[in-house]
Structure formats: C-alpha cells, structure tokens
Amino acid sequence: MLKISKVKRNSIAKEIGLEVGDEILSFDGLVCEDELDYLYFTETDGFTLQVKDHRSGEVVAIEIEKDEGEDIGVEFEKNTAIRTCHNRCLFCFVDQMPKGMRESLYVKDDDYAMSFQCGNFVTLTNLSDEGLERIIRLKLSPLYISVHTMNGELRVKLLRNRFAGKIQEQIKRLAQGGIEMHCQAVLVPNENDGEELAYTARELFQYYPLVKDLACVPTGITKYRDGLHPIPDIDKPYSEKLLALVDELNQEFGVNFLLPADEYFVKAEREIKDVAFYGAFEQIENGIGLTAKFLWEATERLSELGKCVLKKPKNVLLVCGVSAAKTNARLVAECNETISGLQATILPVKNKFFGETVTCTGLLTGEDMASAVETYCKANGAVDEVVIAGNTLREFEDVFLCGMTLQSFEKRLAPIKVRVNRNGGRGFVEILSDTDKKRR
C-alpha cells in the first residue's frame, strides 16, 4: 500500500481526483507493496489503479491511459521499513563493531529493493518464491548478490541459515527471468576459497553475461571478535595464491569475470590491475578497482595541469589508511615534482578504533585521524593543510564513524586548514594544486 503525500498541479493524478491521504492498493490487480510497483507501472502506457478514498474509506478502480514513462504526478509517504538480514554469518562485520555507535550502523540490511536502488548486497535467504517472481516481474535489474559459495551445504554453514542452500535455484531462476546480477564472495580462509571458489566461479559463469562478475573480498576482521568464530587474517602468500587462482580462472573464461579486492594486491605486493580490467567499475563500492580508478584520474589531471606553480607555497599532510600508503606515496612524489611550491606528505593512520587489521581508508575515524595528525605535527612541525578522504564521512552528513563531526575535527586541528576530497583522484590533485573551486 502507498499513501499519497502530494498531488502535483496539472497532473494526471489531479485530473482523476486523487488527493493527499488516498491509498493506492493495487496496480492491474497486483497488490502494491512499495514504490517499486509505482516506478514499474509508470513506465507502461496505462494501468488500472485500486484506490482507497481517505475520507469515505471507499475503494474504487480507476483506469489510466498515458504515455510510456509519464509520471502521473504523485508522491508518497516514505516507508522506512526494510527487509532485514536473517543470517548469522561467520564473517559478519556488524557483529564485530563496538557498542555505543549510532543505531543505523547495527542494522543488517538484506533488502532486494535496496539492492536494485542503491547497489546493496543481499543474500536472498529471506526471499520467498513470490518475492523472487516479483523481482522478475518488475525487472529489478541489476541486483547485487552475496553468493559467497554455490555449494549449498557450505553456504548454510557460512551463513548459519537453513534457507541459504537454495542459492543455485535462485540464481538460475533470476537468470531465466533476464535479471542481471553482480555477485560477491566474502572469502573465509580454508572455507570458501581455493577449490570451493573455483567451483563457485564456474557455476556462476554458466549464466554469464547475466551474472556479470564475481567479486572476491577478504573477510573484514576487527579487534571485537571475542566469542566469534575464529578467522585468520590474510598475508602475502595467501594473497599471491588467491590472485594466481583468479588469473587462472579468468584466462579459462576468456573474460575478467573474477574481480579481486584491491587489498589482495596490497598484501601480495603486486601492482594493481590497469583500469581496463575493471570495465565500468560496477563493483567499486566493494573495494574493487578503487585504487586503479583513483590513480588513473589523478594521473589524467596531472597531465592536464603540466608543470605549475602555486601562488603561495604550502605544506600538506595527506591522511589515508595503511593499505593505501605505498600507492599514494608514489602519487604524491609525482605531485611534488609537478607542482612547484608544494610539499605534500602521506600520513598512513593505524586504525585503533577497529583494530590494526582494518587498513582501508574509509573505515578510519575522526579520532584516530586527529590523533595521528597531532602526533605528526608535534614531531615534525605544523603543516598548512590536512587532506582527508570524503568516504571517511557519513553520506550526506559530515559525521565520522566514531560520532565526531567534521566541525569538531576542524576545530581540534585549528589553525590547520582541513580539506575534504570528495572527488577521487581528480579531486586529490585539484586540492594539492589549488585549482579546486569548491573548497572546504
């Protein structure tokens, strides 16, 4: 059911008499579950609405004829309810977070609507047969699916959910329905890696190109694992072996179907793949190709700039996670050489909040970064600017994972100017060269 919150003037909805408070119950006799139904039928050239009048309570049927893609001119009350996760995964990151953080960080989302709209990964274990058919009927494509393994018995063990073993038939049915899928496997050493990963990849590749790729992601391990299933951290030999298997399977398939997370290249001390390897970067939010894209954007922007001179020399500290330090250091050296008057230094920050096994930049907290900057300046002297990555802040809100606001972070480091890079490699270079017009 969708409750109307606004009717636009001069719209089809206004013309047929819909009002704020009316409830849409169905489209063409199909029960309306959420706004996805409305978005789907908006693309058609007509449908029959079943509407409950907010004043009389009467239910009426209204036939609508319109152009394909034409909106009828209504908005709805937001439904904040989401389909939550019913799993107890051995590797769940949410279970490894400290207490006392904002409530939204503990929500285990497993909602196929969010997968379609936002690219969130879902396991499908809470999905009924009717829900599966709804995905196909509404053409909710692409979906992002946490497969982890195509071995049903092993998947039940990893997800600790008796319904997890249905993944084979679910993937097959979605492919038959023409749904595109991006898949991931969070790899637990000695569980779903090695030959099990090869099996999973080959099973999924049967449905290529509808199953477009398989991301290989290491388990995130924090210091808050007391009482949880023991999982070893990955090292150089492990990462080398994993990357060799990925190369072998991709060669077998003839396409870059398996996409390893950037962290494996860092641990293996191997050069990151070229940007062409990652195609349209459709798994970049999963840490796949982020480094390659960043370097490519930065190099392109440096090439456009050529040799340049800052109006005023400046000493800049660039904060990042430990895993990005080596790559960023090479880039910074190139920036220092190209931009006269710039003295930029990389400051890799150890993650004390989650533990030093967490090395990515995006999971750094304001407290850890502020403390690291203060320690650096005490030992080496003050700097003019500090640059932090935009993905350390909450989306649409300037708050770090630890709850510290950006304003508090800036106040703590004053008089050092804090710059937030929200524009990848290009933004990185623009901040250093002072060509960025949107300053922070």
pLDDT classification of 440: cutoffs 50, 70, 90: very low
pLDDT classification of 81: cutoffs 50, 70, 90: low
Distances (CA, A) of 261 to 15, 216, 270, 273, 394: 53, 6, 12, 11, 22
Tell me, what's the pLDDT at 33? 83
Cα–Cα distance for residue pair 240/244, rounded to 1 Å: 6
Tell me, what's the pLDDT at 207? 98
3-state DSSP call for residue 167? Answer: helix
Cα–Cα distance for residue pair 264/47, rounded to 1 Å: 51
Q: Where do you find CATH 3.80.30.10 in the chain?
A: 94-286
**Token digits of residue 274:** 């070229």
Q: Where do you find CATH 2.30.42.10 in the chain?
A: 2-76
Kindly report the CATH number that applies to the domain delimited by 2-76.
Answer: 2.30.42.10
Q: How far is CA 405 from the centre of its chain?
A: 22
Tens digits of per-residue pLDDT, 205-224? 999 999 999 999 999 888 88
Tell me, what's the pLDDT at 227? 80
Tens digits of per-residue pLDDT, 23-72? 999 988 888 888 888 888 888 888 898 999 888 999 999 998 888 888 89
Q: How far is CA 406 from the centre of its chain?
A: 22
The answer to whether residue 291 scores a pLDDT higher than 60 is yes
Kindly report the CATH number that applies to the domain delimited by 94-286.
Answer: 3.80.30.10
Mean pLDDT on 148-175: 96
Tell me, what's the pLDDT at 439? 43
**Closest Cα to residue 157, out of 90, 227, 229?**
90
Q: Contacts by 335-338 with C-beta closer than 8 Å and gap 24+? A: 335/302, 335/429, 335/432, 335/433, 338/302, 338/305, 338/306, 338/307, 338/308
Mean pLDDT on 364-390: 96
Tens digits of per-residue pLDDT, 325-368? 998 999 999 999 999 999 999 999 999 999 999 999 999 999 99
How large a percentage of the chain has pLDDT more than 90? 67
Cα–Cα distance for residue pair 31/322, rounded to 1 Å: 51
State in Å, rounded, how far the first CA of the chain is from the last one.
43
pLDDT classification of 1: cutoffs 50, 70, 90: confident
250 vs 112, residue with greater confidence: 250
Mean pLDDT on 109-130: 80
Q: How much is the mean pLDDT over the chain?
A: 91
Tell me, what's the pLDDT at 80? 61
Pick the CATH number of 294-433 from 3.30.110, 2.40.30, 1.10.10, 3.40.50: 3.40.50
Cα–Cα distance for residue pair 396/410, rounded to 1 Å: 18
Q: Tell me the angle at which helices 290-305 and 424-433 cross, rounded to the nearest 10 degrees.
A: 40
Cα–Cα distance for residue pair 106/89, rounded to 1 Å: 14
Tens digits of per-residue pLDDT, 126-156? 888 998 998 999 899 999 999 999 999 999 9
Mean pLDDT on 153-182: 96
Q: How far is CA 310 from the centre of its chain?
A: 36
